[in-house]
Amino acid sequence: MFIKIYDGANTIGGNKIYVGDGKHGIFLDFGLNFAVNNLYFKDFIKMRSIRGINDPIEMGLLPKIKGYRKDLFPGDVSDVAFEEIPIDAVLITHAHVDHYGMLGYLNPRIPMMASPETLAIIKAYQDAGKSEIGTSGIYYVERKRPVDKLVLPSRRVNTSNVKKEETVEKYLTEFKDYFPIRPLISTTKVSDSLLEFMRLQGDGIKMRHFKNHLRVGTLEDFDLEFKVRAYPVDHSIYGSTAYIIEGDSTIAYTGDLRLHGERGAYTMEFAKGARDAATLIIEGTRTSKEEHEYVSEEDVYKNSLSVVDGAKGLVIADFSARNFERLKLFSKIAGKTGRKLVIEEKDAYAVEGLIAAGTKISTENVAVYKKPVEKVEWWMKYIGRKNDHPAGTSTLWGGKMVNPMEIHDNPSRYILAFSLYDLPNLLDIKIEGGTYLYSSTEAFNEEMELDFKTLDNWLRRFGIEAVGFKINSDSNKPDFDKGFHASGHASPADLMKIIDTIDPEVIIPVHTEHPEWFSENYDGVKILKNGEKMEI
């Protein structure tokens, strides 16, 4: 039995960790490495989907292994010289792109394991997001070769006038040929409501295809060589999971985790359950030499409530993408202060999926922002834009749309969940004054610092006061106020608490820029570089 780090050893994110024995193997996460990606790609410079697997292989964003989708190979790329490894499954810890964002390149016959909440989030943002190869982890439209040409125009199915059953069956057969759906393994049994959400599509024929072919099994339904135990843990996104893999030896893998959020007790349950693990693969995001002030989600709630309670006019809350715990926090603040939290449609759709998965999220004080769009997508119809979706209209969001003029007329009634990229919507709302509460991560590179200058320009343009950050007039860089954001990762002190509870023989740090912190504090630390392998 061995561990090989293909990516994510000395960067924060991009985890692709392989556990195998020569005949069988599993990946622990299959994420996008932002550190490498951001060296070459940004904004309008992107990997070319028309070239399939070529660009990520050339730029080191995918390892040279066999197991990728055959329809993504252009004529000048071959996997003949790629490493051949068995891949029985990919275990995804959570729905952040740096942990699952390259999954869509893998052969669709390779199952994905995740928690019900993670499955719901990945499905929601795949439906509602841009068509990216990497994040199309659950389903995709297969391409005809060669990959370099525009494909499938003749195979698009118009289902609006389909009446005859034999025609329906013909289309279903065609869908099966070019609309693969990945086998899904849930860490716990999924509810009927989640299955219904997972099978949502834009028309009746596609929904029937998903009903026939999308299956969500449990561990008992799949014959994996290694025994896998899954533990929910606390992180800045719901559904986060740590895994324990048992074969000739026992390996515990944390994914990303913390102790100071709503589900902090889950993390310690994992640590206790992992006491029999000989090897611990652990994240170390916050193991820098800098001192970290301890801020909990409860601190964020109290400080943010104080700001919103004293604010006049419109409040804009900027919190991390997919941080539904923070969304619940601001929903609670909205209720306390007589406001409504207004969220984007794609986030409302994801909340729909989470509630179907069993997550307790109250939408009593939440509404959905109805911004101008060129095209009403099918998932928008489902949550209330129109009433002609084949599954009907969401009972959760129907009638809860808020348009720009409603906010313009009564700005003090609302908290807008907007980030910098949503601020052009202010040109429709047309307000003057208000409060912008920044409740997200601090800038950690020059590009992010430039974003804050742009953000400051928008706020000045509309006379909106910033809370949580200020542009320093001397350095022209942002300074951040403590107490409005809690990290999604464990502090050094909490990492030590987790490690001491597990008490492993070997510690392998990943997802960190400072792996030496572990060897300075513990014996038995093995620092692997990308591409290195360790026998267990």
Most confident of 139-143, 202-206, 318-322, 454-458: 454-458
E strand intervals along 21-77: 25-28
Report pLDDT for 169. Answer: 65
What's the angle, vertex CA 306, arms to CA 305 and CA 310, rounded to 5? 110
Report pLDDT for 205. Answer: 87
Which residues does residue 20 pair with via DSSP β-bridges, in sequence order? 2, 25
**Percent over 90 (pLDDT), the chain:** 80
Q: Cβ(183)–Cβ(103) under 8 Å?
A: no
* Better-predicted residue by pLDDT, 128 or 151: 128
Report pLDDT for 221. Answer: 85
Question: How is the chain split among helix, strand and coil, in percent rounded to 5?
Answer: 35, 20, 50
Residues 185-224 have pLDDT tens digits of: 999 999 999 999 999 999 888 999 999 999 999 988 888 8
Cα–Cα distance measured from residue 70 to residue 89, given in angstroms and rounded to the nearest whole number: 18
Helix (H) or strand (E) holding 98: helix 97-100
Note the Cα 13 to chain centre separation in Å: 12
Give alpha helix (H) positions in 401-489.
Answer: 404-409, 426-429, 446-461
Report pLDDT for 292. Answer: 53
Count the alpha carbons within 13 Å of 304 in the hemisphere toward its beta carbon: 31
Whether 495 shows a pLDDT value over 90: the answer reads yes
Residues 372-398 have pLDDT tens digits of: 999 999 999 999 998 899 999 999 998
Q: Cβ(100)–Cβ(135) under 8 Å?
A: yes
Report pLDDT for 145. Answer: 55
The counts of H helices and E strands in the chain are 17, 22
Domain layout of the chain by residue ranges: 2-153+164-288+489-535, 297-480
CATH number of the structural domain 2-153+164-288+489-535: 3.60.15.10
Report pLDDT for 76. Answer: 86
Question: For 172-188, what is the mean pLDDT?
Answer: 85
Cα–Cα distance measured from residue 424 to residue 412, given in angstroms and rounded to the nearest whole number: 20
Q: How close are the terminal C-alpha atoms of the chain, in Å? A: 6
Helix (H) or strand (E) holding 318: strand 315-319
Question: For 73-95, what is the mean pLDDT?
Answer: 94
Question: For 347-366, what is the mean pLDDT?
Answer: 97
Residues 230-289 have pLDDT tens digits of: 999 999 999 999 999 999 999 999 999 999 999 999 999 999 999 989 999 999 999 975
Residues 469-485 have pLDDT tens digits of: 999 888 888 889 989 99
Report pLDDT for 166. Answer: 61
* Better-predicted residue by pLDDT, 144 or 183: 183
Whether 155 shows a pLDDT value over 70: the answer reads no
Report pLDDT for 442. Answer: 80
168 pLDDT tier (thresholds 50, 70, 90): low
CATH number of the structural domain 297-480: 3.40.50.10710
Q: Which of 28-32, 106-110, 151-155 has the lowest mean pLDDT?
A: 151-155
Cα–Cα distance measured from residue 6 to residue 27, given in angstroms and rounded to the nearest whole number: 10
Cα–Cα distance measured from residue 423 to residue 180, given in angstroms and rounded to the nearest whole number: 37
Give alpha helix (H) positions in 241-377.
Answer: 264-273, 297-309, 324-336, 345-356
The closest alpha carbon to 305, from 484, 486, 466, belongs to 484
Mean confidence (pLDDT) of the chain: 91
Phi and psi for 282 in degrees, rounded to 5? -130, 140
Question: For 402-427, what is the mean pLDDT?
Answer: 97
Dig out the tokens for 66 from the structure: 């066999």
* Better-predicted residue by pLDDT, 445 or 402: 402
Report pLDDT for 398. Answer: 85
